[in-house]
Chains A and B, each alone.
Chain A
């Protein structure tokens, strides 16, 4: 076996799995998005018709689709910085030399990520309860009136955001921790000798060293927030007044509530193109920053 052929037997199982469970379904759903697959077609495939770009043009005329798009963009714009900042702060905390009981902290901060979503959602529904919730109780100390977190169209999005941030920061924290441990300690010492304070050391030593990881985490978070579904599904069912309908939730309703799989596939494909575009833009920005 030659050197160039040798890797193939090793990677082929993984490639096969990716091809079978990712590439084939992706192509199939692109194909599906040009058909009017619905309950009639579900009963009998003879009832399937090719409709070209009709699914796409109909979506652009659907106000709920734009509402879902707007909500999702809000989630991405507010959620990504929040999660990146929160997980970086947590990573810095558990990485601090002065911190005792480190394993305990790590477990405590990572625990939300590995607990079941539905179970934590139920707990958070209590925490966010208007009258008995701990969150409103705490806000009361600062003289803030109780907020109807899951019942008001303006508070529901922040409420979901808080829950998602709490649920997901642990994973990113682990990635940041790994990166922080690669920052050479000598650089910190040198900076300290030069008179740099904690903020200056973070800004000029830590941050440049972990920049690629910040990019990675933000790309993962963007993709994650674009695909937000389970949290609004469990907490608010898209309500109140459709204020937490995300693109993926809209796709789910289109596909599995109204059973318009053709239209649902079109939504999925638009979402794919959007995530891809945003990721490319992030990479371009990162490249320019590197050159500068």
Chain B
């Protein structure tokens, strides 16, 4: 419901006309592009559209979805044949929507859209050799650290290798007060372990994404490193819900290193006092031997198979991908632009806090692109938590994650045998 106030009678008429509701989106005048956007992006993108509407003559109707309901909405939209023309899609949902055949692969004519992109982010959008989505904004996780605490411990910036990084964490821990730690790795979040695991040479799934590969030496090394941070009391054994206010705890020194994404920059700026701002900075992730990888995140723009006017729909995607428009969008929303050239024009390369994100994105590595991935990675963390708590050894945990992943991938194996999976 937009601005219209529904009277009771209108609402009742709507309820009676329920079967017709599915077709609601089609009642727009011809030439109207239906565009679904989520959360923060939906709030800021309308400011960019008048210029597009003037230039193309097409009207754009934006529907804002809350992130918490967006995934369900996309799938029910597909089931009910009521998807819009263009939509923003979280990167991790692309494989799923491509697998069910909801989205249109990038046509030849739009090939220019895949130039001037971060390679790993583009790779996330490439499934079975075809590009399905055009990166819109990007994010990735890296470390936020307390400059003052690190300086006290004798460090200007966090070291770039695992071993040296851990030595630094020990030095920080020695400086810390009783009951304080060096780094926060919420035990219920999979992103931290996933980052360490991505830095290994072995892929996380094998056989074309049909089986887990968590038994590989690389994953075991990553899990052992992750576990050691808890065993050596460098990280508290706590879940995110137990830490009600991470910014305050960061400022109080409960931990001095925190792994998170660009949204935390805004939170730190707005939630912590002005005189504290000089005490923190960002740095890219350490790796096993030199700067390490991280998972690329963010959203892409896709055109759905049922789009009424695909050419106009791709026109909107093209417009929103222009470096100039992306730089403006960054100023409006704070989202990091997908195109490296927009980073230059937006001045992000010179921004002390944002530049490390750019470096980290150059080293990002796509996660496996199978529809089951989100479930597999949640299971990975469930087992990893039990491993950290001492219920599994690293070898047992790796085998257990493989068992669970293989069970989740059973249908995909069958689909591959039938030759029907991407």
Contact = CB atoms under 8 A, between A and B. Distances in A.
Binding partners A and B: yes
Contacts of A256: 72, 75-76
A100 B94 CA distance: 63
A46 B101 CA distance: 14
A40 B102 CA distance: 12
A257 to B, nearest CB: 6
Contact of A42 (B100, B239, B421): B100
A36 B411 contact: yes
Contacts, number: 45
A257 B244 contact: no
A43 B101 CA distance: 7
Given A39-B75, A241-B188, A257-B72, A44 B371 contact: no
Contacts of A148: 244
Interface residues of B, number: 24
Interface in A40-98: 40, 42-44, 46-47, 49
Interface string A19-41: 00000000000000000101110
| Of listed A151, A153, A239, A256, residue having the most chain B CB within 10 A | A256
Contacts of A239: 241
A259 B411 contact: no
Nearest to A241: B241
Given A39-B99, A40-B100, A42-B78, A240 B420 contact: no
A105 interface: no
A47 B416 CA distance: 11
A262 to B, nearest CB: 10
B68 interface: yes
A114 to B, nearest CB: 13
B96 interface: yes
B370 to A, nearest CB: 11
Nearest to A252: B72
Nearest to A39: B100
Contacts of A132: none
24 contacts: A38-B411, A39-B75, A39-B96, A39-B99, A40-B411, A40-B420, A40-B421, A42-B78, A42-B79, A43-B99, A43-B101, A44-B101, A44-B420, A46-B420, A47-B415, A49-B414, A151-B244, A153-B241, A239-B241, A241-B188, A256-B72, A257-B71, A258-B375, A259-B75
Given A39-B96, A40-B100, 16 more contacts: A39-B99, A39-B371, A40-B99, A40-B421, A42-B75, A42-B100, A43-B101, A44-B420, A46-B420, A49-B414, A151-B244, A153-B241, A240-B241, A241-B239, A256-B75, A256-B76
